[in-house]
């Protein structure tokens, strides 16, 4: 038997035995997301050639300029998920309201949330970007899906993960049974397993945050970041600062090298910038499955009851010890 690393499809099929009730919908949803990832990876690599850089001139529901690739990738993911017939409703960073797949395709069992191109301001400088996704079983009985199927606390996620478009294209996901990472072989067009059951390393003195905002942060965050920078080798300080400006890429480094990513709130925007449902919850699920932790400074991200599709939250995730440290700064007030 010729040995090679199993493909994503083979790995999901092999693990399907863990779910006796499985009928194949889940693997169809994951395969649609993986296919979207391969196509987006190619488009990003050729961005300057295929005129995929720059902006559409439109603003999205977040009040942000829409990059051409944001729009293209959003439509691609909606189409591919819609075609599976397994998805009853979708929520995207790029679209104000719930997205219903056409016709009977909207009767599916899964509700899917996604950020088509995370960190899209990095596209034009050829720096890493990502796609973030989260799938949960519907809560409404039948028929076309509904906002209620999307507005579920993160602990209800059936699967979550991201695709990183960096020096290589990675697919990282969890279904609540560990975190598994795959690398795209563009010559074969296949994601191959590279790490099974990924765990945060123990060592962790890297912090990743836009410290340029520190002047408007709330006092506990200002004290926390000053503490990280003091010179005290006994406690591994000063920490090293690393920031790419794309959540997926900054999180992937923290997952492999250890440390903490933070996007605090500030005096003007106490809720911060990052979106709970399609940025923070999915990566929080991955972080917890890798032995880490994710909070808003006071509360577990996966226990926050969502009230709006595009709601934001202060965000801290990484090694459990590092997140607990920043929580102590917040609870000391």
Residues that bind ligand FBP (CB under 6 A): 64, 93, 115, 118-120, 210, 245-247, 273
CB of 272 to ligand FBP, least distance (A): 10
By beta-carbon proximity to ligand FBP, the closer residue of 26 and 251 is 251
Question: β-strand 260-263 against 206-208: which pairing, if any?
Answer: parallel
Hey, what are 206's tokens? 């890297």
Q: Cα–Cα distances in Å, from 286 out to 136, 150, 231, 270, 279?
A: 14, 19, 32, 25, 11
Hey, what are 310's tokens? 């595009």
CB of 232 to ligand FBP, least distance (A): 27
By beta-carbon proximity to ligand FBP, the closer residue of 210 and 235 is 210
What element of type H or E holds 240?
A: strand 240-241
Tell me 120's DSSP state: G
By beta-carbon proximity to ligand FBP, the closer residue of 246 and 323 is 246
As a whole number of angstroms, the distance between CA 305 and CA 131 comes to 23
> Residue 94 phi/psi, 5° resolution?
-90, -5
By beta-carbon proximity to ligand FBP, the closer residue of 109 and 273 is 273
By beta-carbon proximity to ligand FBP, the closer residue of 11 and 285 is 285
CB of 76 to ligand FBP, least distance (A): 16
CB of 209 to ligand FBP, least distance (A): 8
Tell me 237's DSSP state: B
By beta-carbon proximity to ligand FBP, the closer residue of 83 and 211 is 211
CA 41 to chain CA mean position, Å: 16
CB of 60 to ligand FBP, least distance (A): 8
Q: Is the dihedral of CA 238, 244, 247, 251 positive or negative?
A: negative
Question: β-strand 110-118 against 87-92: which pairing, if any?
Answer: parallel
CB of 241 to ligand FBP, least distance (A): 13
Q: Which residue has the tokens 């942060």?
A: 217
The stretches of 2-108 forming alpha helices (DSSP H) are: 8-16, 25-45, 68-84
CB of 199 to ligand FBP, least distance (A): 23
**SS3 labels along 81-101:** HHHHCCEEEEEECCCCCCECC
By beta-carbon proximity to ligand FBP, the closer residue of 71 and 115 is 115
């Amino acid at each position: 038997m010729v040995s090679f690393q199993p493909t994503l499809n083979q790995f999901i099929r092999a693990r399907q035995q863990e779910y006796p009730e499985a009928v194949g919908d889940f693997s169809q949803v994951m395969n649609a997301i993986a296919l979207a990832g391969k196509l987006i990876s190619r488009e990003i690599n050729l961005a300057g050639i295929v005129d995929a850089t720059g902006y559409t001139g439109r603003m999205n529901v977040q009040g942000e300029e829409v990059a051409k690739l944001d729009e293209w990738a959003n439509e691609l993911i909606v189409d591919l998920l819609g075609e599976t017939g397994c998805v009853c409703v979708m929520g995207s960073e790029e679209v104000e309201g719930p997205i219903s797949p056409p016709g009977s395709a909207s009767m599916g069992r899964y509700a899917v949330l996604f950020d088509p191109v995370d960190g899209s301001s990095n596209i034009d400088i050829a720096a890493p970007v990502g796609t973030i996704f989260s799938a949960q079983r519907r809560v409404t009985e039948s028929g076309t899906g509904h906002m209620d199927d999307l507005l579920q606390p993160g602990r209800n996620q059936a699967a979550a993960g991201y695709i990183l478009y960096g020096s290589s294209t990675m697919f990282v996901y969890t279904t609540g049974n560990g975190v598994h990472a795959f690398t795209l072989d563009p010559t074969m067009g296949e994601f191959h397993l590279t790490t099974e059951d990924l765990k945060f390393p123990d060592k962790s003195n890297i912090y990743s945050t836009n410290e340029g905002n520190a002047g408007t942060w709330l006092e506990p965050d200002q004290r926390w970041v000053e503490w990280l920078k003091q010179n005290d080798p006994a406690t591994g300080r000063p920490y090293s600062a690393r920031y790419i400006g794309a959540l997926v890429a900054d999180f992937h480094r923290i997952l492999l090298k250890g440390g903490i990513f933070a996007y605090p709130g500030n005096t003007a925007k106490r809720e911060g910038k990052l979106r709970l449902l399609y940025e923070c919850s999915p990566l929080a699920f991955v972080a917890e499955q890798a032995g880490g932790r994710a909070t808003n400074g006071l509360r577990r991200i996966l226990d926050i009851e969502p009230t709006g599709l595009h709601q934001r939250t202060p965000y801290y995730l990484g090694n459990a010890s590092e997140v607990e440290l920043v929580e102590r700064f917040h609870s000391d007030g």
